């Protein structure tokens, strides 16, 4: 899936509930989650759009704020869902002391607001000798690595490899569609409904440059995708499908529909997203290339 959620095990860690015996220490990280980075220009492009789209979400949130300090962009939507209170590197990290300085600044920022938060460092912006130590340094600030996000890019549309289902699509900013968008994501990512509604059911978030698409089957919302126009690319987020509706091509249909609609509006072809391991294969089949790793760290102190 595209970024905006995490595994059920990570949710257990984040919210302190779930099945007895599920431990944060047992979240496994397969080597298959990692990719070989692309040329530096594409890596920088991926990092830039990641931070800028989250900045857009924060600026349009009801009580959001954005701060640039200590080599970080802090995009804070001031919501319960930690992924929307996030820290991003502005530039390359020099050494361990530099990383600690940046993380201390982020920790103080979010602690002052009593918010859980996430850190998405671009792995290629870490010097080689430091990379193996990053999880331990992050742990000093209460951050647990929960997965590896992969920045991906595609230059234009490709033909589907399989027949796709026919769905009815409705778009934001209409409130019933915003609510459906939140409910699909809540179901897909095992979130309480209220936590998803808080950042998504916000009228000011949705405009000509940020559109949510909800796919309906037999009148019921089953899948979603969001497309944001950022600079010269189309950024894909909020890709989700209800658990009981998966493996039917709904997510691919939603992404393709949303991108086609925004391409007609903007004439832009290039598209970027940041994928969870679960979504990598689908995106590769859709013509996306992996360009950079962004390990995802979640704070547990909230």
Contact 24, 157 (CB under 8 A): no
The yes-or-no verdict on residue 19 having pLDDT over 80 is: no
Does this model's pTM top 0.95? no
Q: What is the pLDDT of residues 186-235, one digit of tens each?
A: 999 999 999 999 999 999 999 999 999 999 999 999 999 999 999 999 99
* CA neighbor of 241 nearest in space, from 2, 63, 73, 26: 2
**Alpha-carbon span 89 to 79, nearest angstrom:** 21
pLDDT surpassing 80 at residue 131: yes
Residue 246: other Cβ atoms inside 10 A? 14
In order of 1, 17, 42, the CA distances from 120 in angstroms are 17, 24, 17
Residue 29 has pLDDT above 80, yes or no: no
Is-contact 84 54, C-beta < 8 A?
yes
Q: List Cα–Cα distances, 141 to 111, 126, 152, 270, in angstroms.
A: 11, 18, 29, 36
Placement of tokens 């998966």 in the chain: 246
CB count within 10 Å of CB 40 equals 11
What sign does the dihedral 109-295-55-197 (CA atoms) show?
negative
Nearest to 181 by CA among 234, 237, 229: 237
CB 75 within 8 A of CB 58: yes
Q: For 234-254, how does the pLDDT look when each residue is reduced to its tens digit (9 = 90+)?
A: 999 999 999 999 999 999 999
Q: What is the pLDDT of residues 39-92, one digit of tens each?
A: 789 999 999 999 999 999 999 999 999 999 999 999 999 999 999 999 999 999
Domains of the chain: 8-149+294-299 (no CATH), 168-269 (3.40.630.30)
174-194 per-position pLDDT tens digit:
999 999 999 999 999 999 999
Report whether 64 contacts 86 (CB < 8 A): no
pLDDT of residue 2: 66
Bridge pairing between strands 233-241 and 271-275: parallel
């Amino acid at each position: 899936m595209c970024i905006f959620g995490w595994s059920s095990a990570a949710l257990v860690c984040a919210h302190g509930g779930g099945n007895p015996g599920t431990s944060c220490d047992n979240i496994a990280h397969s080597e298959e989650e990692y990719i070989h980075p692309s040329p530096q220009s594409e890596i920088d492009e991926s990092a830039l759009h990641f931070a800028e789209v989250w900045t857009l979400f924060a600026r349009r949130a009801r009580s959001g704020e954005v701060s640039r300090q200590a080599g970080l962009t802090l995009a804070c939507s001031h919501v319960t869902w930690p992924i929307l209170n996030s820290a991003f590197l502005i530039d390359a990290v020099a050494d361990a002391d530099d990383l600690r300085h940046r993380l201390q600044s982020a920790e103080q920022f979010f602690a002052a607001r009593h918010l859980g938060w996430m850190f998405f460092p671009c792995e290629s912006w870490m010097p080689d000798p430091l990379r193996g130590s990053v999880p331990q340094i992050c742990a000093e600030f209460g951050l647990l690595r929960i997965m590896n996000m992969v920045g991906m890019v595609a230059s234009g549309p490709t033909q589907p490899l399989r027949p796709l289902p026919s769905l009815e699509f409705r778009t934001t900013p209409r409130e019933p569609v915003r609510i459906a968008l939140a409910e699909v994501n809540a179901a897909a990512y095992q979130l309480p409904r209220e936590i998803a509604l808080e950042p998504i059911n916000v009228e000011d978030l949705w405009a000509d440059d940020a559109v949510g698409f909800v796919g309906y089957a037999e009148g019921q919302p089953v899948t979603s995708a969001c497309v944001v126009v950022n600079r010269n690319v189309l950024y894909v987020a909020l890709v989700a499908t209800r658990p009981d509706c998966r493996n039917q091509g709904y997510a691919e249909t939603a992404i393709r529909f949303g991108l086609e609609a925004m391409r007609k509006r903007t004439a832009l072809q290039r598209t970027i997203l940041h994928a969870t391991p679960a979504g990598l294969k689908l995106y590769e089949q859709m013509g996306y290339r992996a360009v950079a790793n962004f390990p995802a760290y979640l704070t547990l102190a909230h």
